[in-house]
Structure 1
Amino acid sequence: MLEADKVFAGSVPENYDRYMVPLIFDFYANDIAQQAASFSPKAVLEIAAGTGVVTRALAPKLAADAAYVVTDLNPAMLDYAASRQPPDSRIQWKQADAMALPFDDAAFDLACCQFGAMFFPDRTSGYREVKRVLKPGGRFLFNVWDRIEENVFAQDVLDALGEIFPDDPPRFITRTPHGYFDTGLIRSQLEEAGFSDVAIETKAEQSRAPLARIVATAFCQGTPIRNEIEARGGNLEAITDRVAATIAERRGSGEISAKMQAHVIKANA
């Protein structure tokens, strides 16, 4: 992962929440929120909260006396998440690096992370930090995307950008979001960090959009792909149009849908 892969600034948070969240994140956010709530946690840590899609799904399911600390490395994303959340005295918003969590040992009984572990520069060390702040027997619940070939819209965008920039195609999608899909590796790194009872479930779902242009805008303007396009001197709107045209050729000009797939992981501290 490159440092630029962590830059979600400018209009990216708003476009991420407006386009990416309904396109690919809502289903898995609701799934992780339901599973998290089933443990009846009283002290919850969310890592890499992004624009707060899990927070919005999980907070209503928590007990009235629960404490919920929501963190992200990127202040712009965290600020946007806080702006979208109804007032809730149980929630504390805190900028935090997952590699050096600013919390006491054994402070939480549940930690959750939606599509954030792929951004950890050292996953085993990151998992050790999560285990450190969990109480003995606490739960760690997170998800990661499966390989790009199992996520059709992402593959479409990758292919289109490869045609537009044949000499230097943007690689953010495969390098980071879809670069950490080996379940054997994930299990071994969690166990090396001290977790036990690791359970991994692969879940497939349909990603839907009213138009191909929505998919293209989501990826090209709501993720660090935007940084890659602009770094190559590309006109953002023109490139988005070209990506949309490729998707429309493959999937249709009206409402479209395609497979997406992720791994959902549970482990005990």
Structure 2
Amino acid sequence: MSENDKVFTGSIPEFYDTYLVPLIFEEFANDLAHRVCALSPSRILEIAAGSGVVTRALAPKLKAGSHYCVTDLNQAMLDHAKTRQKADPRIRWQQADALNLPYDASSFDVAICQFGVMFFPDRIAGYKEARRTLTPDGALVFNVWDDISFNEFADVVTDAAAEVFPDAPPRFLARTPHGYHDISQIEEELRQAGFSQIRIETLEKQSSALNASIPAIAYCQGTPLRNEIEQRDPDKLAHVTDVATKAIAARFGDGPVNSKIRGHVITAFS
């Protein structure tokens, strides 16, 4: 993983939340919120909260006396998430590194992470740190994307970017968001971190948009793929987005577009 894969700054958070969240994240966020609520937690830690889509789904479902710490490594993403969330005394916002969480042992009943562990520079260390903050019967609930071939908009956009830069194809989407999908590897790394009861479920959903430009903008301008494109040629962002739009339209149609998205949902207990 490149260091730039973790950089969500400038206008990326706004594009991410406006375009990418409704495109691929909302349904999975609702699923995670349902799973967390089924565990009836009082103290919840959210790791790598991004622009707050899980926070918005989960907070209304929590008990009145709950304590909910929402964290992210990127302050820009956290600041954006706060602007989207109604004032809630149960929620504490804090910039935090998933590998060095600023909380005591056994502080939380549940730790939750939506599509964030792929960005951890050391996933086993991240799992150990999450486990440290959990009570002995606490749970880590998170999800990861499946291989990019099962996530069609992302796959088409990656191919479109490679068409523009054939000598140095931007591979952020395949490398990082969709680069950690081997179920046996995920389970083994969780066991190395001390988790013994692990459930993994694969979910397939539909990603829909009013037109082909929406997923093109979402991926090209609302993710660190933008950083890769601008590093290669700062004047080519609009061109890559246009090429991606045409490629999506060619495959899925000129009007409303629909494609497959697929991820794994993991619940792990010590």
TM-score tier, shorter chain, comes to over 0.9
Give the ranges of 4+ consecutive aligned residues of structure 1 lying more than 4 Å apart after TM superposition.
Answer: none
Instruction: State how 1:232-251 maps to structure 2 within 5 Å.
Output: 232-233=232-233, 234-251=235-252
**Aligned residue in 2 for 1:212:** 212
**Aligned residue in 1 for 2:4:** 4
**Aligned residue in 2 for 1:67:** 67
> Is 2:3 the partner of 1:14?
no
**Aligned residue in 2 for 1:25:** 25
State the 1:123 CA deviation. 0.6
Aligned equivalents of 1:242, 1:174: Cα separation in 2 = 18
State the 1:238 CA deviation. 2.0
Q: Deviation digits for residues 39-86 of structure 1, max 9, x if unmatched?
A: 110000000000000000000000000000000000000000011000
Aligned equivalents of 1:59, 1:260: Cα separation in 2 = 25
Instruction: State how 1:49-68 maps to structure 2 within 5 Å.
Output: 49-68=49-68
| Counterpart secondary structure, 1:136 | strand
State the 1:12 CA deviation. 0.4
What is the TM-score when the length of structure 1 is the normalising length? 0.99
Aligned equivalents of 2:38, 2:170: Cα separation in 1 = 40
Q: Deviation digits for residues 91-137 of structure 1, max 9, x if unmatched?
A: 00000000101100010010000000000111111100000000001
State the 1:235 CA deviation. 2.2
Q: Residue type matched to 2:62 in 1?
A: L
What is the TM-score when the length of structure 2 is the normalising length? 0.99
**Aligned residue in 2 for 1:167:** 167
Aligned equivalents of 1:200, 1:178: Cα separation in 2 = 17
> Is 2:260 the partner of 1:262?
no
**Aligned residue in 2 for 1:199:** 199
State the 1:240 CA deviation. 0.7
Q: Deviation digits for residues 219-264 of structure 1, max 9, x if unmatched?
A: 0000001111110114222221111011111111100101000000
State the 1:88 CA deviation. 0.1
Instruction: State how 1:108-257 maps to structure 2 within 5 Å.
Output: 108-233=108-233, 234-257=235-258
Identity of aligned residues (%): 57
**Aligned residue in 2 for 1:45:** 45
| Counterpart secondary structure, 1:246 | helix
RMSD: 0.6
Q: Residue type matched to 1:88 in 2?
A: D
| Counterpart secondary structure, 1:227 | helix
Q: Residue type matched to 1:254 in 2?
A: G
Q: Which runs of 5+ in 1 are unaligned?
A: none
Aligned equivalents of 1:4, 1:61: Cα separation in 2 = 35
State the 1:174 CA deviation. 1.0
State the 1:162 CA deviation. 1.1
Q: Which runs of 5+ in 2 are unaligned?
A: none
